Chain A
């Protein structure tokens, strides 16, 4: 028995050595054909049409789907994708898209397409959103948040099929942001044939759970809270993906993601912490892009004292943004001068820099009739967002700043997020710390949803600020597609915001991502989700 024991002992040791020995010789490793991306959360579904959360966009939009048109280049110009070209009529009310003929849908275990993408798929994808009679409109709740926020149904009159590969959008009014809207991560093209197939099976709700798209990867397996496994779509119409597998390892804990990155278990990590530690390591790379977002302090302009423009300006002069950038964003953000980030083409470089001056603030308060200051509340949002990672601490800093001009601040932050949003939309607050992430690079995506009169009425803006002159300017800017004219309109609009100060823009945060240096290819854009189309590993 002892001999047997010793033999076994030796055998197991040899085995272990063997295993170790073989490790580096095999060049055909599966691991070298796969990328593991450690993401921060589970997606809500697999269709970007029905969501706005960044996690889901990251997981689905660029991996599984394509849009008619897309953004490309540093200027975020609109470029062809499924539509190889398009034509806009002079009055800006008709847009004709000419589709590629070689776009193939995913062949998966649950669906085998019999035809390439054609006009029917485009019609289905948009009619699902626009047409309340559509069989699929109310599947998954009937909410299309992005399309509702840009008022898609009040822009698009109808969409018609000219022939199998030509589609025409007829608009109710000229809107120069429509192309940008169609190029966002949300305007994906689904398969009409798959929808038919699901209708035959009477399992329509599967369309958003088991996706069929045209993107570079297709879904193999999803385990909620654990991982998503994508495999390469070998018939992808653009260049074939370099990888065999793309895996989303769902790791909600910050430290967990960092550990996995440092231990080389993840190739790419979302929202890393400990940036210095990552920069220190030669085998890791830290990527950063300034996101199209803004964190701001919004005033409830419907209630005193903030219905007075002087008071609003006084507060905005008294806030020390530098200190906030240092404390809340650890210097990982750009100071916001207006609500549009400086990287946008609509940003006006001649716009005067906003000052920090306690004495001027006091003077303005005196002028407004509050020589002894007043008491106010600030609602700090109870969740973390990249544009505001710690609203409570930010509120405390502002509290300290405003103390200096005699304004006493009480902070409200003990509501749960949905309750918080509801109460703020009802105007319970006097001032609120919130933010906005743009879905596409068109500047209108900042101005209309945040400060237009329409958004003030619906309670979207939380500032309840409505300025006719401003509204006219942003409206005019949408009606023309001449870029210099649009720039001039937006420059004027930004000046009105600076003068009226319905909100105090604080910061444009940066989005960070860490990767192993052997992962090549551009993954992050200034807006929208992560994109693994070009990713490769060597």
Chain B
């Protein structure tokens, strides 16, 4: 387990190094002055520019410059946003929790529905249920998320009027951001309308979370199905059958657990996909997350924001990746001996 942990940490450090290298070279590759691209101070006077050049070791070799950039990064200084002139790091800290919340809820929905449905498909292998589930999953996977989002707004917000179409919570409720994860903030607040706010926040998250969840859900269906079929083919299942256990006993006691382990291995991979979808969805549902902000920054050619957002998002995805790796290793003793990162 120690070696496993060390390897993951090693992998983390090197990936982060590569990421920062990429982000640093972006500042050189973007048009304009690389110093301004790094610091975001577009209106700097000549004197301020000298101070900045000093701070970013801009007159030294490129290695020094990179090192200076890294020190700034470690100090949490991602420069100023060129559009809003606010520190990029504080903007990210304000926005990232909303994205984390949305993607976590979506992941939960995708897993909670996808995995059981996949198991049902595997159990009914080559029967009508299996085919039906697979076809629906295929359709679900093929539908573009932006179209689905608009359609959901049209049906559930405009025509049926069941769910709100925009934002995280109705502006009526005033929730102080402490952790940034809204549900926790609501529960922690001492607002007399706490319970109403909680309901409202739930109503707001259902639609975007479901829209984001659709595509990963279909993947979970297929993963769960394949993994369950593999497990059902193994000899210990045959042995269990020979012992005289009923079919459902076999499924519950043996097959599900073993199949789940394989699915969990892929959660990390799917998460990257999910966050990408969440970014598009945030724009459609006016979700105040980092994805919407990043897309706006791209339109506004806000280079500092693009670099900072890139680093924040990819490290978030990477951390989730590693966490799932650890969960997987915790659940599956066999995996702990594997030396290389997945």
Q: Are B171 and A30 in contact (CB under 8 A)?
A: no
B173 is an interface residue with CB less than 8 A from chain A: yes
B111-136 to A contact mask, C-beta < 8 Å, 1/0: 01000000000000000000000000
A194 CB to nearest chain B CB (Å): 24
Q: Which parts of A1-19 form the interface with B (CB within 8 Å)? A: 1-2, 9, 12, 16, 19
Chain B residues positioned under 8 Å from A264 (CB to CB): 161, 164
Q: Is A483 an interface position by the 8 A CB rule?
A: no
Tell me whether B158 and A30 are in contact (CB under 8 A): no
B202 contacts A by Cβ under 8 Å: yes
Cα separation A159 to B202 with both chains bound (whole Å): 57
Contacts of B252 in A (CB 8 A): 2
**Among listed A21-29, A453-461, A492-500, interface-contacting one:** A21-29
Q: Which B residues touch A245, using CB under 8 A?
A: 172
8 Å CB contact of A249 from B165, B171, B256: B171
CA distance A9 to B112 in the complex (A): 7
B246 to chain A, nearest CB (A): 16
A262 touches B157 (CB 8 A): yes
A12 pairs with B174, CB closer than 8 A: no
Q: Are A259 and B202 in contact (CB under 8 A)?
A: no
Cβ distance A238 to chain B, nearest Cβ, rounded Å: 24
Contact present for A263 and B171 (CB under 8 Å)? no
**Does A26 contact B196, Cβ atoms closer than 8 Å?**
yes
Q: Is the C-beta of A36 less than 8 angstroms from some C-beta in chain B?
A: yes
Known pairs A12-B112, A259-B158; A265 contacts B170 (CB<8 A): yes
CA–CA, A245 and B174, complex, Å: 11
State the CA gap A207–B225 with chains docked (Å): 65
Decide yes or no whether A31 CB sits under 8 A from chain B. Answer: yes
| List of B residues within 8 angstroms of A29 by Cβ | 196
Binary per-residue interface labels of chain A (433-464) against chain B in the complex, 1 for a CB within 8 Å, 0 otherwise: 00000000000000000000000000000000
Tell whether B286 is near chain A: CB-to-CB under 8 Å.
Answer: yes
Given A9-B112, A256-B286, A263-B157, A23–B172 Cβ distance below 8 Å?
Answer: no
Measured between beta carbons, the chain B residues less than 8 angstroms from A26 are 196
Instruction: Please encode chain A, from 235 to 270, with 1 for each CB lying within 8 Å of some chain B CB and 0 for all others.
Output: 000000000010101000000100110111100000
Query: Is A229 interfacial (CB 8 A cutoff)?
Result: yes
Give complex CA distance A1, B199 in Å: 29
Q: Which residues of A contact B172 (CB under 8 A)?
A: 30-31, 34, 36, 245, 247
Q: Is the CB of A265 within 8 A of B174?
A: no
Minimal beta-carbon separation of A33 from chain B (angstroms): 9
Is B170 a contact partner of A19 (Cβ separation < 8 A)?
no
A contacts with B, residue count (CB < 8 A):
28
CB–CB B157/A227 < 8 A: no
Please report the C-alpha to C-alpha distance between residue A247 and residue B173 in the assembled complex, in whole angstroms.
Answer: 10
Q: Which residues of A contact B260 (CB under 8 A)?
A: 1
Most chain A CB inside 10 Å of its own CB: which residue of B112, B164, B166, B198? B166
Contact yes or no, A31 B196, CB < 8 A: yes
**A221 within 8 Å of B by Cβ?**
yes
Residues of B within 8 A of A263 (CB): 153, 157-158, 161, 163-166
Task: Check B257 for interface membership: any CB of A closer than 8 A.
Answer: yes
In the complex, the answer to whether A227 meets B171 with C-beta atoms within 8 Å is: yes
> Once bound together, how far apart are the Cα atoms of A333 and B295, in whole Å?
39
User: Would you call B193 an interface residue if the criterion is a C-beta within 8 Å of the partner chain's C-beta atoms?
Assistant: yes
Knowing A22-B199, A265-B165 are in contact, say whether A30-B157 is a contact too (CB < 8 A): no
Task: Please tell me if the beta carbons of A265 and B257 are within 8 angstroms of each other in the complex.
Answer: no
B159 (CB) vs chain A CBs: closest residue: A262
Q: How far is the CB of A240 from chain B (nearest CB, A)?
A: 20
Name the CB-closest residue of A to B206. Answer: A16
Q: How far is the CA of A265 from the CA of B170 in the complex (A)?
A: 7
A34: which B residues are within 8 A, CB to CB?
A: 172
Q: A265 — which chain B residues lie within 8 A by C-beta?
A: 164-167, 170
With beta carbons under 8 angstroms apart, the residue of B164, B166, B196 that contacts A30 is B196
Given contacts A9-B112, A19-B199, is CB(A259)–CB(B173) below 8 Å? no
* A351 CB to nearest B CB, Å: 46
What is the chain A residue whose CB lies nearest that of B192? A30
Are A30's CB and B173's CB within 8 A?
Answer: yes
Residue of A nearest to B160 (CB): A263
Which residues of chain B come closer than 8 Å to A227, judged between CB atoms? Answer: 171
A260 in contact with B196 given A30-B173, A245-B172, A249-B171 (CB within 8 Å): no
Instruction: Return the chain A residue nearest B108 by Cβ.
Output: A12
Q: How far is the CA of A249 from the CA of B170 in the complex (A)?
A: 10
Residues of A within 8 A of B163 (CB): 263
A229-B112 in contact given A19-B199, A259-B157, A263-B157 (Cβ < 8 Å): no
B196 in contact with A256 (CB, 8 Å):
no
- The residue that A229 contacts in the complex, of B171, B193, B196, B257, with Cβ under 8 A, is B171
Assess A229 versus B199: contact at CB under 8 Å? Given A12-B112, A262-B158, A263-B158.
no
Do A221 and B174 touch (CB < 8 A)? yes
Question: Which B192-238 residues sit within 8 Å CB-CB of chain A?
Answer: 193, 195-196, 198-200, 202
Question: Are B166 and A260 in touch, CB under 8 angstroms?
Answer: yes
Q: Given that A9-B112, A29-B196, A31-B196 are known contacts, is A36 also in contact with B161, CB under 8 Å in the complex?
A: no
Q: A interface vs B, CB < 8 Å?
A: 1-2, 9, 12, 16, 19, 22-23, 26, 29-31, 34, 36, 220-221, 227, 229, 245, 247, 249, 256, 259-260, 262-265
Chain B residues proximal to chain A, CB less than 8 Å: 112, 153, 157-158, 161, 163-167, 170-174, 193, 195-196, 198-200, 202, 252, 256-257, 260, 286
Closest 8 CB pairs of A and B: A263-B157, A34-B172, A30-B193, A262-B158, A263-B165, A247-B171, A31-B172, A265-B164
A-B contact list, 12 entries, CB within 8 Å: A1-B260, A19-B199, A19-B202, A22-B199, A29-B196, A30-B172, A30-B193, A259-B158, A263-B165, A263-B166, A265-B167, A265-B170
Q: A263-B158, A263-B161, A265-B164 are in contact. List 18 more A-B contacts (CB 8 A).
A: A1-B257, A2-B256, A16-B202, A19-B198, A26-B196, A29-B196, A31-B170, A31-B172, A31-B196, A34-B172, A36-B170, A221-B174, A247-B171, A256-B166, A259-B158, A263-B165, A264-B161, A265-B167
